[in-house]
Amino acid sequence: MRPTQAPFPATRFRRARQSPATRALVAENTLTAGDLIWPVFVRDGHSVVEPVASMPGVNRLSVDKVVEAARKAADLGIPAICLFPYTDPSKKTEDCAEAWNPENLSNRATRAIKAAVPEIAIMTDVALDPYNSLGHDGFVVDGKIQNDETIEALVKQTLSQAEAGADIIGPSDMMDGRISAMRNALEAGGHKDVMILSYAAKYASAFYGPFRDAVGASGALKGDKTTYQMNPANSDEAIRLVERDLSQGADMVMIKPGMPYLDICRRVKDAFGAPTFAYQVSGEYAMIRGAADNGWIDGEKAMMESLMCFKRAGCDGILTYFAPEVARKLAKS
Ligand code: PBG
């Protein structure tokens, strides 16, 4: 039971809010650069910085430029970078074989970052959509996404990423049973220290639109992802999914998207106490940036507030396209 609060005027909440000093003293949560994972888009070529139209301020970078970005991120105190490849359409097939090619873009970028910036953790994405001519995260047969066959491919993709040097594997595919298959393969393959950050509660969301442009998957995708990603109406199901993934060997779990799903973040943190992350996805970024660029909101304040809210909701960290900007701002304040 809470002790009863003295009635007004003995209790005045505004006393504690009267100055920056007292506000800092009673702040319940903090945001630091150490809470951030920075998702970046990688593309072919040399010295290429190609803007993503639907995400102002975000670029697709060639491998040499990603290495420079990783250097900057590490110097800002950002602990991890997350790689998403923009795959040339000529390399997309229905068998998705590029996904486990040791020389694919993601693996080349991983090796280059490891060599130049060994202190930053590298997270990679496990799902077939960047490599699938049909745009889905799994194999498609007669219009249906195949669960078990997809898992075999995801295991190959996982091992090729671990062999390239990935520290954290991020399965974003939402197939059932993938975490135990990946964990067993990593153990058997001599990668016992590779972590899995499971996209455990990933919703079928309209907020991924700009991302699909960024990785070039929008054009390929037929239909939607509602047979494998979650229904936004559900909350208990998220708890069951997180429990399942933790029981299969996930080290950390993610809720995605972020801001419309803060209730799920809080429930997951309270239920399991496991390292819990939220992904502030492309559409959330685009909304804040778009409104700011139009002068409708203060973009910097909205950015900082949105990230603090993830901490308040129980998240240990946030994947956000704002990561370098936030880290720069935090370093100044
Ligand atoms: C696909 C994947 C998606 C995102 C990360 N991995 C999109 C999707 O599921 O269609 C979205 C990230 C974002 O919107 O920022 N495996």
Mention every residue, 6+ apart, whose C-beta is less than 8 A from residue 107: 101, 160, 161, 163, 164
**Vertex 221 angle, CA 154 and 283, to 5°:** 90
Q: What is the 8-class DSSP label of residue 37?
A: E
**Ligand 1 mutation target, pool 128, 208, 215, 277, most atoms within 8 A of CB:** 208
Mention every residue, 6+ apart, whose C-beta is less than 8 A from residue 47: 62, 64, 65
pLDDT band at 210 (very low <50, low <70, confident <90, very high): very high
For residue 127, the ligand 1 atom closest to its alpha carbon is: 16
pLDDT value of residue 1: 62
Asked whether residue 90 carries a pLDDT value surpassing 70, the answer given is yes
Please give the distance, rounded to the nearest whole angstrom, from the Cα atom of residue 261 to the centre of ligand 1.
15
pLDDT band at 221 (very low <50, low <70, confident <90, very high): confident
Q: Which residues pair with 319 in a beta bridge?
A: 37, 279
Please give the distance, rounded to the nearest whole angstrom, from the Cα atom of residue 138 to the centre of ligand 1.
13
Q: Which residue has the tokens 């873009």?
A: 105
pLDDT band at 79 (very low <50, low <70, confident <90, very high): very high
Q: Are strands 36-43 and 317-320 parallel, antiparallel or unpaired?
A: parallel
pLDDT band at 217 (very low <50, low <70, confident <90, very high): confident
Asked whether residue 213 carries a pLDDT value surpassing 70, the answer given is yes
Helix or strand run (H / E) with residue 162: helix 147-164
Structure tokens at 154: 């995801």
pLDDT tens digits along 318-332: 999 999 999 999 999
Domains and CATH numbers, the chain: 30-332 (3.20.20.70)
* Averaged pLDDT, 95-122: 98
Please give the distance, rounded to the nearest whole angstrom, from the Cα atom of residue 316 to the centre of ligand 1.
20
Nearest CA residue ID for atom 8, ligand 1: 208
**Ligand 1 mutation target, pool 211, 227, 230, most atoms within 8 A of CB:** 211
pLDDT value of residue 173: 97
pLDDT band at 2 (very low <50, low <70, confident <90, very high): confident
For residue 285, the ligand 1 atom closest to its alpha carbon is: 15
How many residues are listed for the chain in this entry? 333
Active site residues: 202, 256
CA neighbours closer than 13 Å in the CB half-sphere of residue 251 = 13
* Averaged pLDDT, 265-290: 98
Q: What is the 8-class DSSP label of residue 99?
A: G
Mean pLDDT score of the chain, rounded to an integer? 97
Nearest CA residue ID for atom 2, ligand 1: 172
**Ligand 1 mutation target, pool 212, 221, 318, most atoms within 8 A of CB:** 212
* HEC letters along 195-220: EEEEEEEEECCHHHHHHHHHCCCCCC
**CA–CA dist 322, 87 (Å, integer):** 23
CB-CB contact of 249 with 183 (8 Å): yes
**CA–CA dist 40, 59 (Å, integer):** 8
Mention every residue, 6+ apart, whose C-beta is less than 8 A from residue 276: 252, 253, 254, 255, 265, 268, 269, 314, 315, 316
pLDDT tens digits along 132-165: 999 999 999 999 999 999 999 999 999 999 999 9
pLDDT band at 216 (very low <50, low <70, confident <90, very high): confident
Q: Which residues pair with 47 in a beta bridge?
A: none
For residue 209, the ligand 1 atom closest to its alpha carbon is: 14
Please give the distance, rounded to the nearest whole angstrom, from the Cα atom of residue 188 to the centre of ligand 1.
29
Helix or strand run (H / E) with residue 33: none
For residue 321, the ligand 1 atom closest to its alpha carbon is: 15
φ, ψ of residue 115 to 5 degrees: the values are: -70, -40
| 299-312 helix and 262-272 helix, angle to the nearest 10 degrees | 30
Pocket of ligand 1 (CB under 6 A): 125, 127, 129, 137, 172, 208, 211-212, 225, 281-282
**CA–CA dist 326, 159 (Å, integer):** 33
* Ordered alpha helix ranges (H), 6-103: 20-26, 63-75
| DSSP E strands, the chain | 36-43, 49-51, 59-62, 80-85, 121-126, 139-141, 144-146, 168-171, 195-202, 252-256, 276-280, 317-320
Structure tokens at 112: 């280059």
Asked whether residue 218 carries a pLDDT value surpassing 80, the answer given is no
